[in-house]
Amino acid sequence: MSRRIVFSVLLVVIGYAGALFNVSAAALPSARDIRVDAGTKDSIAIPVKNTATTSAVISLSLMSADFTDGNDQPVLKNLDSRIAPWLSLSKDSLNLISSEQSFVELSVDVPLDTSSQVFAVALVATEISSGQISLSHGSATLVFITIGNELSKGLCKSFLTENFLVTNISIANAGHGILVADGQIVLRGPFGIRFVQTDLNPSHHRILAGQTRSWNTNLPAIPWWAFGSLSYEILDSNIASNECYPIAVGKRWWVVMFLATFAGTTSVILFRTKRS
C-alpha cells in the first residue's frame, strides 16, 4: 500500500472520528437562571467563547431541555412550540477569532395569562443534535426559567456514606420553583461544636419541581484535634432533614486523654521543680 493511500485512509478516519465525537469550538457556561412574572419581559446575557485555534462562526439555537427523575443530563428536543413565541435571541451566530468571547442575549416575554411554572431550555451550538448529551464539554447552556413567584422546597432523601471521604447526597424538590441546595456538610463534636464544614453542592446542581437529583461530594476531613462523639450532618435552611439523619463517625477521646496526661505530667514536673 503506497504512502498516498495510507495518508488518504488516515484523513478519512480522522474526519469520521471528528464527526463522531462532534468537537465544538464553542464554550458556554453550564447553567443560568431567570425569573419573570406573567405579562412582563426580562433577559440575560450568556457568554460564548471560541476555543478553537482559528476564527470560527458559531451558530446558536434554542432547544427544549427535559429531565428524567434523578438524571443530571437533560434530553434536548426541538423547542416546544408553546413556549417558542416567548423566547428570542439577540443573535443566532457569532463570528469570533481564536479565544475571543462575546455575548448573546436571551429574552423572555411571557403573556399575561400564563400560569406559574418552571421549565428549562438550552442555548446550544447547532452542531449538537437532539438527544441526551453531557453539558460538561461546554457547548450548551441550560437556562432554567421560573414564571411567577414559585417557591422551592427541598427534601433530603438520603445521606449515604460510601467511605469517610466521599458521600452520596439525594435531594428532592417538593416545591414549585427551582431548588439549588447551597448548604453545608458539617462535622460536629460534643455539645454541638462545629469543627469543620464543606459545600453540600459545590457544582450548584439545580433541581426542577417534582424532581430528585443525586451527587457525590467530599466530606470535610476530620482534623487531628477533633474529639468526642463526632458526626456529619447537612446544614441548609432550604432542606428538611426528614430522612438525612447525621452520620455518626464514632467517639474520639484520645485527644482529651493526651492533653490530660500532658497537663498532669507537666504539673507534676513543675511541682517537683518548685519543691527542689
Model pLDDT, residue 242 = 59
Identify the CATH number of the domain in which residue 124 sits: 2.60.40.10
Alpha-carbon span 162 to 167, nearest angstrom: 5
Model pLDDT, residue 18 = 37
Same domain, 205 and 243: yes
Instruction: Tell whether 175 is covered by a domain.
Output: yes
Q: Structural domain tally of the chain?
A: 2
Same domain, 49 and 90: yes
Model pLDDT, residue 88 = 97
Model pLDDT, residue 257 = 64
Model pTM? 0.68
> Residues in the chain, how many?
276
Model pLDDT, residue 272 = 60
Model pLDDT, residue 152 = 83
- Tell how far CA 2 is from the center of its chain: 52
Same domain, 60 and 112: yes
Print pLDDT tens along the chain (276 aa).
454 433 333 333 333 333 333 445 778 888 899 999 999 999 999 999 988 888 888 889 999 988 776 666 788 889 999 999 999 999 999 998 989 999 999 999 999 999 988 889 999 976 444 444 444 446 789 999 999 887 888 888 888 876 667 888 889 988 888 888 888 999 999 988 999 999 999 888 888 888 888 888 888 889 988 888 999 999 887 787 656 888 888 887 866 666 656 565 666 566 566 656
Same domain, 166 and 140: no
Cα–Cα distances (Å) from 165 to 119, 183, 185, 205, 219, in that order, read 35, 18, 12, 20, 5
Same domain, 53 and 143: yes
CB distance 190 to 248 below 8 Å = no
Same domain, 39 and 104: yes
Q: CA nearest 140: which of 74, 199, 239, 210?
A: 74
Same domain, 207 and 162: yes
Q: Which of 122, 147, 172 is the last residue of a domain?
A: 147
Q: Which domain holds residue 179?
A: 154-256
Model pLDDT, residue 247 = 87
Instruction: Tell whether 68 is covered by a domain.
Output: yes
Same domain, 184 and 108: no
Instruction: Tell whether 272 is covered by a domain.
Output: no
Same domain, 108 and 167: no
Same domain, 200 and 226: yes
Model pLDDT, residue 62 = 94
Instruction: Tell whether 14 is covered by a domain.
Output: no
Give the up-direction half-sphere exposure of residue 50: CA atoms within 13 A in the CB hemisphere.
17
Same domain, 185 and 114: no
Q: Which of 147, 168, 187 is the last residue of a domain?
A: 147
Adjacent-strand bridge partners of 213: 171
Contacts (Cβ under 8 Å, ≥6 apart) of 190: 227, 228, 229
What values do phi and psi take at 6, rounded to 5?
A: -60, -45
Instruction: Tell whether 79 is covered by a domain.
Output: yes
Instruction: Tell whether 264 is covered by a domain.
Output: no
HEC readout, the chain: CCHHHHHHHHHHHHHHHHHHHCCCCEECCCEEEEEECCCCEEEEEEEEEECCCCCEEEEEEEEEEECCCCCCCCEEEECCCCCHHHEEECCCEEEECCCCEEEEEEEEECCCCCCCEEEEEEEEECCCCCEECCHHHCCEEEEEEEECCCCCCEEEEEEEECCCCEEEEEEEECCCCCEECCCEEEEECHHHCEEEEEECCCCCCEECCCCEEEEEEECCCCCCCCCEEEEEEEECCCEECCCCCCEEEEEECHHHHHHHHHHHHHHHHHHHHHHC
Contacts (Cβ under 8 Å, ≥6 apart) of 234: 156, 159, 169, 183, 184, 185, 186, 200, 241, 244
Cα–Cα distances (Å) from 234 to 221, 240, 247, in that order, read 15, 10, 10
Instruction: Tell whether 275 is covered by a domain.
Output: no
Instruction: Tell whether 186 is covered by a domain.
Output: yes
Same domain, 136 and 29: yes
